[in-house]
Structure 1
Amino acid sequence: MTSSALKILGYDDLVAKVEALREEGKIVVLTHGVFDLIHPGIVRHLEESKKQGDILVATVIRDRDVRRGPGRPVFPEELRVQTLAALAMVDYACIVDDDIPFECVGRIAPDIFAKGQDHNKRDKQIHDKILEEERGLAYGKAKVFETSGFAFSTTGFLNEFLDIYPEDTKHYLRKIGEQHSFERIKQALDSLLSNKVLVIGDGIIDEYHYCTPMGRAGKAPLVVHKYLNYEVFAGGAFATANHVAGICGDVTLVTLLGESESREDFVRACFKPNVAPKFFYRKDNPSIIKKRYVAAQTNQKLFEVNHLNDSYLPRDEEEAVIAFIREEAPKCDLVLASDFGHGLISPRIIEVLRESSRVLCVNTQTNGANTGFNLITKYSRPDFVCLDEAEARLAMKSRGEIKEIIRDLADRMDTERLIVTLGKKGASGVGRGEKPHFAPILSTKVVDTIGAGDAVFSYVAPLFSLGLPTDLLVFLGNVVGALAVKIVCNKRSVEKHEVLEFVHALLSSGAAGMCAQAPNQDQAP
């Protein structure tokens, strides 16, 4: 093992090592970041950081938690941590999670936390609350030291000199940046914290059963798979409520569970603290469970088995749901109907939603269990509609130009705003009396598209209620979608700070000058 390899520690080992060093009287300095490119500014930052103490520790953000913009990180986490460990001024290096930015600083508890000027400026814009030491959110009792380095941003450098987006996308980003500032977008998202939202829809328990192929069966034309393991996620309206709770302060969820095999404990444990669920129960039925069998190596779905009863509720149970909506919906700033067509939202409930909601936002999803039977046209004059291309085409029964379909569907629904995601083609949206606005794809890596449309709806609907223009809604929807397709199913929500980091990178001067190359066009919401 090389001497630099000995510097690389696991997270728990690093915490113990720092504690031991501090007990010996050593002053420990911690620096934290992506460290995707070791340029002169990074070297200067590390040198200045080391001079502040006896030991310099560098924590490297794990690949899945990097939110510095498109195509990042360029180098995988193993190479990034190895590169840092090879530098003489770095004593220890470690790969860490960064779901909550800078959370590792509080756990490692260094004497000094060193930040670069560029990062400090950016983080004050994006993570203002995290930077308030007195709240104890991240830094604990560590002294914060700001290095001078160079006025040299790694993100800006990589955005400027690496090929990420084609020319059309660069032109689009420049135009968006000229018309809408980062500060305006952040202010809009921050203002949603005071909003009270009602989400109604079909809660779904998503199971991923991972398998690996073994060979062809001898007596049937099928591939035999070896079962490996499984994961369970709270999807459907459960996921919608959690996404919304990341930007709105008070979320009430109206949904169904089954009386048999309800899995209520699991579902409740998945909610964010500001989600208040109101469960109704379908007698003699399980909660909705969708089991997907997945090729572990590629994350490709092999087949799906649904456990559900998609008939409407009996009259007395429907009346109980209606009574709750009539009482709660008028108290809310907006209502989101996350309609998967699995029996909760009946024609009568649709009428009550329209009558009781100040602002009604609707997503009717087409899936394998309801194709052709769960169309947006069953709603009357919703304020906001979010669909994908297939759902829009089914509603209009048309294979024609999508631009015309979007415009005609918006007119038919008499909706204030319609957003349609177009997969690898991007997204489009139209407001009353407007021509359609188009946004190109922004995702550069696709892990899983399940749940991405729900994330887009969950963010764009509340932003619509603020009166944001259509072109900005389409852009922000694409930003959220690009983040969502990097998450396996509904393993976690798209968080506000992720959205802000991505927007900041896209609208920065470096992003506007990115060189031309088409991104991965496999699929996106």
Structure 2
Amino acid sequence: MDQLIRKKVLLFDRLVEKVDQLKKQGKVVVQTHGVFDLIHPGITQHLALARKQGDICVATVIKDKDVRRGPGRPIFNETLRAENLAALNLVDYVTLVDDETPFECVRVLKPDVFARGQSQNERDHKIHEKIFKQEKELYFGKSKLFETGLFSYSSSQFINNFTENYSPEVRDFLKNFSEKYSFNNIVDRLNQLKKLKVVLIGDGIIDEYHYCEPMGKSAKSNLVVSRYVDHEVFAGGAFAIANHVASICEKVQLVSLLGEEDSREEFIRNNLKPNVKAQLFSRSDGPTVIKKRYLHKYLNQKLHEINYLNDQPVNEKLEKKIIKYLSTHLPKFDLVLVSDFGHGFISPLIYDAIEKHAKILAINAQTNGANTGYNLITKYHNPNYACLDEPEVRLAAQAKYQNIDEVASSIRERLNADYLITTQGKKGSIGVNRENQINRTPIFSTRVIDTVGAGDAFFAYTAPCFAQKMPLDFVSFIGNAVGALAVQIMGNKKAVEKSELLEFVNALLK
């Protein structure tokens, strides 16, 4: 990299110091912020107008890990994007920033002027409504917000038109979908979910990821010896689903089960979103469900898993206590979600109470290594919506090779459900309604880091959509878009936020 360009690219902390010094010298500092994947005429016009608003123009470039602009993005890695901007005379300083919390860099940097394009401004107000309406002072303080104008250029449009991240079939699907549902329509529909009162009942899980580095084969046993490197702990299962739902609904009630032998209650409560209220029951004869996965540190390949749990049904006394709580509180909620991992929490009597008192009921009954063949969706009846993956549907129907459309329709009829969506991994998803109409939606993910939790995120977003009577094709699209974001997250490290979903959808449909 050229020495002059190198001097313009600073670490964020160093740029904060530099901006503070410049402001003390009486300089007016203008900040512009984005991905800057392609430097096209719209970008240069934006930078030129931003530059005129002050003495110094700084550009904050979103790091690769936080780019949510659709498939195959970013085209260029963060280092190249920063260097590309630094090569322009219009920009004085460039830095790379995290963007997990949008506009956090503006809050810290405190520029005199924060410049955005008009279309970017309109999009941000839709996607980050809370920031601009309720938290504007927190993030932007005394910074002047300046619009640089409306240009008919978009990086996402260029990239979508001139790259082939998707097959012709997927591109045709997106074209047809965008003609039926505009981005503004999608925003409006998702905003309808805010006021839904949602309760989630299900097995909470502590997910531990232990990262290892293989060293060699044991001399005395047929096993691979690995060296411990690091580990992470996530709130998974129903805990993760509650956090996903809390991204789109303002008030979420969680009902779950802990174990007194190793409850992890403090960790769980600390890792639930502020708008999730938790009613946590406790069994004395086991731990909170803990799943330890051992992974190759650098390849992210799972090597081994150990489960800590007592999956026997809860005792009669605790069961009655849970039923009493549900009978009292469920009528207060618009939507009841059941997330059954088959780990001993949801008994037939508990489900009967749920079905009796739920206004709208959505169910996800999972098949996993701890319950294969013993936790089938067919033990349930009369849900409004059921969400399963293809192996779960086939196992429930005892139909290994039959046409999946017929299998899914038969399971929906057996459950007496209004809707059933079957996720199919790389093949996307199929949905079936009470009239046995089939809807197919392709997969939108082009990069997969970890599939754990992706189905939970799909369920968390699609169930509230159905509760608001949204069309099957729309709900399936939202679910697949959420899934595409979820598979880019390691385990249940974080929830898929509504703002991330809208950014992804906005880029997807251009």
> Is the pair's TM-score, using the shorter chain for normalization, greater than 0.5?
yes
Question: Shift in Å at residue 37 of structure 1?
Answer: 0.7
Partner of 1:255: 256
Aligned residue runs from structure 1 range 283-298, under 5 A = 283-298=284-299
2:349 aligned with 1:359? no
The one-letter amino acid paired with 2:243 is: N
Question: Shift in Å at residue 390 of structure 1?
Answer: 0.7
Paired with 1:484 and 1:134, the residues of 2 have a C-alpha distance of 27
Partner of 1:40: 41
SS at match of 1:164: coil
Partner of 2:214: 213
Partner of 2:67: 66
Paired with 2:458 and 2:233, the residues of 1 have a C-alpha distance of 22
CA contact (8 A) 1:45 1:149 kept: no
Paired with 2:439 and 2:157, the residues of 1 have a C-alpha distance of 28
Partner of 2:80: 79
CA contact (8 A) 1:309 1:342 kept: yes
Partner of 1:335: 336
CA contact (8 A) 2:69 2:508 kept: no
Residue deviations 1:17-47, cap 9 Å, x none? 2112111211111000000011122122222
Partner of 1:455: 457
Match of 2:496 among 471, 494, 498: 494
The one-letter amino acid paired with 1:64 is: K
Which stretch has the larger CA shift, 430-439 or 498-507?
Answer: 498-507
Partner of 1:522: none
Question: Shift in Å at residue 180 of structure 1?
Answer: 2.2
- Size of the aligned set, in residue pairs, is 508
SS at match of 1:25: coil
Question: Shift in Å at residue 226 of structure 1?
Answer: 1.2
Identity of aligned residues (%): 53
2:22 aligned with 1:21? yes
Paired with 1:82 and 1:112, the residues of 2 have a C-alpha distance of 23
Partner of 1:3: 4
Partner of 1:516: none
Question: Shift in Å at residue 233 of structure 1?
Answer: 0.2
Question: Shift in Å at residue 102 of structure 1?
Answer: 1.7
Partner of 1:169: 170
Could you say if the C-alpha distance between residues 482 and 137 of structure 1 is closer, same or farther in structure 2, counting changes exceeding 3 Å?
farther
Partner of 1:236: 237
SS at match of 1:193: coil
Partner of 2:414: 412
Paired with 1:163 and 1:175, the residues of 2 have a C-alpha distance of 17
TM-score, structure 2 as length reference: 0.97
SS at match of 2:200: strand
Give unmatched runs, 5+ long, in structure 1: 509-525
Question: Shift in Å at residue 471 of structure 1?
Answer: 1.2
Residue deviations 1:150-171, cap 9 Å, x none? 4211111111111111111111
Paired with 1:481 and 1:287, the residues of 2 have a C-alpha distance of 27
Give unmatched runs, 5+ long, in structure 2: none
2:434 aligned with 1:425? no
Question: Shift in Å at residue 133 of structure 1?
Answer: 8.1
Partner of 1:512: none
The structure with higher relative contact order (CA 8 Å, sep 6+) is 1
2:259 aligned with 1:268? no
Residue deviations 1:411-446, cap 9 Å, x none? 111100001100000000011013211011110110
SS at match of 2:31: strand
Partner of 1:523: none
Question: Shift in Å at residue 14 of structure 1?
Answer: 1.7
2:107 aligned with 1:106? yes
Residue deviations 1:47-68, cap 9 Å, x none? 2222221111100111121111
The one-letter amino acid paired with 2:168 is: E
Paired with 1:184 and 1:89, the residues of 2 have a C-alpha distance of 37
CA contact (8 A) 1:312 1:343 kept: yes
CA contact (8 A) 1:429 1:436 kept: yes
2:193 aligned with 1:155? no
CA contact (8 A) 1:182 1:504 kept: yes
The one-letter amino acid paired with 2:236 is: G
Paired with 1:445 and 1:485, the residues of 2 have a C-alpha distance of 8
Which stretch has the larger CA shift, 187-196 or 310-319?
Answer: 187-196
